[in-house]
Protein backbone atom coordinates (compact mmCIF):
# COMPACT_ATOMS: atom_id res chain seq x y z
CA UNK A 1 0.00 0.00 0.00
CA UNK A 2 1.37 3.39 -1.00
CA UNK A 3 1.59 5.79 1.95
CA UNK A 4 1.70 9.60 1.76
CA UNK A 5 4.91 10.80 3.38
CA UNK A 6 6.94 13.97 3.68
CA UNK A 7 10.63 13.33 4.27
CA UNK A 8 12.63 16.02 6.06
CA UNK A 9 16.36 15.56 5.56
CA UNK A 10 18.97 16.75 8.06
CA UNK A 11 20.24 19.26 5.48
CA UNK A 12 16.80 20.92 5.21
CA UNK A 13 15.71 19.25 1.95
CA UNK A 14 12.07 18.16 1.89
CA UNK A 15 10.64 15.48 -0.41
CA UNK A 16 6.90 14.80 -0.66
CA UNK A 17 5.62 11.62 -2.19
CA UNK A 18 4.52 8.04 -1.75
CA UNK A 19 6.33 5.08 -0.25
CA UNK A 20 5.49 1.49 0.47
CA UNK A 21 8.72 0.27 1.96
CA UNK A 22 9.70 2.64 4.81
CA UNK A 23 11.12 0.78 7.78
CA UNK A 24 13.16 2.47 10.51
CA UNK A 25 15.28 -0.67 10.81
CA UNK A 26 16.46 -0.62 7.19
CA UNK A 27 19.31 1.57 5.93
CA UNK A 28 17.23 2.96 3.04
CA UNK A 29 13.77 3.24 1.54
CA UNK A 30 12.24 4.51 -1.69
CA UNK A 31 9.89 7.38 -2.37
CA UNK A 32 8.01 8.26 -5.53
CA UNK A 33 7.98 12.08 -5.52
CA UNK A 34 4.77 13.99 -6.16
CA UNK A 35 4.14 14.47 -9.85
CA UNK A 36 6.49 11.67 -10.90
CA UNK A 37 5.54 8.52 -12.76
CA UNK A 38 5.04 6.01 -9.95
CA UNK A 39 6.13 3.10 -12.12
CA UNK A 40 9.64 4.40 -12.84
CA UNK A 41 10.55 7.43 -10.73
CA UNK A 42 11.52 6.19 -7.29
CA UNK A 43 14.26 7.97 -5.33
CA UNK A 44 16.42 6.15 -2.81
CA UNK A 45 16.48 7.81 0.65
CA UNK A 46 19.16 6.84 3.15
CA UNK A 47 17.66 6.53 6.63
CA UNK A 48 20.83 7.98 8.19
CA UNK A 49 20.23 11.26 6.30
CA UNK A 50 16.74 11.98 7.59
CA UNK A 51 15.52 14.22 10.37
CA UNK A 52 11.98 12.83 10.30
CA UNK A 53 9.39 11.13 8.12
CA UNK A 54 5.89 12.61 8.40
CA UNK A 55 3.03 10.29 7.50
CA UNK A 56 0.39 12.78 6.38
CA UNK A 57 -3.32 12.94 5.62
CA UNK A 58 -2.86 15.45 2.83
CA UNK A 59 0.06 17.05 0.98
CA UNK A 60 -1.68 20.45 0.96
CA UNK A 61 -1.29 21.54 4.56
CA UNK A 62 -2.32 24.85 6.12
CA UNK A 63 0.99 26.68 6.54
CA UNK A 64 -0.60 29.04 9.11
CA UNK A 65 -1.76 26.20 11.37
CA UNK A 66 0.67 25.31 14.17
CA UNK A 67 -0.07 21.95 15.76
CA UNK A 68 3.17 22.14 17.74
CA UNK A 69 1.54 24.01 20.64
CA UNK A 70 -1.50 21.80 21.24
CA UNK A 71 -1.52 19.87 24.49
CA UNK A 72 -4.81 18.76 26.00
CA UNK A 73 -5.20 18.59 29.77
CA UNK A 74 -5.59 14.82 29.44
CA UNK A 75 -4.34 12.61 26.66
CA UNK A 76 -6.51 9.78 25.37
CA UNK A 77 -3.54 8.23 23.60
CA UNK A 78 -1.43 5.49 25.16
CA UNK A 79 2.24 6.02 25.85
CA UNK A 80 4.35 8.86 27.14
CA UNK A 81 3.52 12.46 26.24
CA UNK A 82 6.68 14.01 24.81
CA UNK A 83 8.03 17.34 23.64
CA UNK A 84 10.64 16.61 20.98
CA UNK A 85 13.09 19.32 19.87
CA UNK A 86 15.16 18.77 16.74
CA UNK A 87 18.65 20.18 16.21
CA UNK A 88 17.16 22.84 13.89
CA UNK A 89 14.81 24.07 16.67
CA UNK A 90 11.56 22.55 15.40
CA UNK A 91 9.38 21.28 18.25
CA UNK A 92 6.77 18.50 18.07
CA UNK A 93 4.36 17.31 20.75
CA UNK A 94 2.95 13.82 20.77
CA UNK A 95 2.87 10.43 22.38
CA UNK A 96 5.23 7.52 21.92
CA UNK A 97 4.86 3.99 23.18
CA UNK A 98 8.62 3.43 23.11
CA UNK A 99 11.37 5.99 22.71
CA UNK A 100 14.81 4.52 23.11
CA UNK A 101 17.43 7.00 21.92
CA UNK A 102 19.85 4.13 21.33
CA UNK A 103 17.61 3.01 18.45
CA UNK A 104 17.55 4.75 15.04
CA UNK A 105 14.32 6.50 16.00
CA UNK A 106 10.76 6.17 17.20
CA UNK A 107 7.20 6.93 16.14
CA UNK A 108 5.50 9.98 17.62
CA UNK A 109 1.71 10.30 17.37
CA UNK A 110 0.42 13.91 17.37
CA UNK A 111 -1.83 15.00 20.22
CA UNK A 112 -3.72 17.47 18.09
CA UNK A 113 -6.71 15.79 16.42
CA UNK A 114 -6.59 18.48 13.69
CA UNK A 115 -2.96 17.78 12.82
CA UNK A 116 -2.20 16.88 9.24
CA UNK A 117 0.26 14.30 10.59
CA UNK A 118 -0.94 10.78 11.28
CA UNK A 119 2.41 9.85 12.82
CA UNK A 120 6.01 10.96 12.61
CA UNK A 121 9.14 8.83 12.57
CA UNK A 122 11.66 10.86 14.57
CA UNK A 123 15.35 10.15 13.89
CA UNK A 124 17.12 9.90 17.26
CA UNK A 125 20.44 11.20 15.91
CA UNK A 126 18.88 14.54 14.95
CA UNK A 127 17.31 15.35 18.33
CA UNK A 128 18.47 18.22 20.50
CA UNK A 129 16.25 17.23 23.41
CA UNK A 130 13.28 15.13 24.45
CA UNK A 131 11.14 15.96 27.46
CA UNK A 132 8.46 13.85 29.04
CA UNK A 133 5.42 15.99 29.83
CA UNK A 134 2.74 15.51 32.44
CA UNK A 135 -0.91 15.57 31.42
CA UNK A 136 -1.73 18.71 33.42
CA UNK A 137 0.77 20.93 31.54
CA UNK A 138 -0.67 23.23 28.91
CA UNK A 139 1.64 24.53 26.20
CA UNK A 140 1.36 28.16 25.18
Domain ranges of the chain: 3-56, 67-132
User: Which pLDDT score is estimated for 66?
Assistant: 58
- 81 in Cβ contact with 130 (< 8 Å): no
User: Which pLDDT score is estimated for 125?
Assistant: 94
User: Which pLDDT score is estimated for 113?
Assistant: 83
Do 67-132 and 3-56 fall under one CATH topology?
yes
CATH number corresponding to 3-56 = 2.30.30.100
Say whether 122 sits in a helix, a strand or coil: strand
User: Which pLDDT score is estimated for 101?
Assistant: 86
Residues in the chain: 140
CA distances for 28 relative to 25, 117, 120, angstroms: 9, 22, 17
Q: Which CATH architecture has domain 67-132?
A: Roll (2.30)
User: Which pLDDT score is estimated for 70?
Assistant: 55
Which helix (H) or strand (E) is 66 found in, with range? none
User: Which pLDDT score is estimated for 140?
Assistant: 43
User: Which pLDDT score is estimated for 76?
Assistant: 63
Which residues have CB under 8 Å from 89's CB, separation 6+?
128
pTM (predicted TM-score): 0.86
Q: What is the mean pLDDT of each run of 10 residues along the chain (140 residues)?
A: 92 94 92 78 92 93 58 65 94 91 93 90 95 63
Amino acid sequence: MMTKIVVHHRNGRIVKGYSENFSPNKPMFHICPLGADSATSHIKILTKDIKAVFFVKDFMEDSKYDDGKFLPTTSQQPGSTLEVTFNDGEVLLGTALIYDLNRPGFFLFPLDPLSNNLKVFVASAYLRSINKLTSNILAV
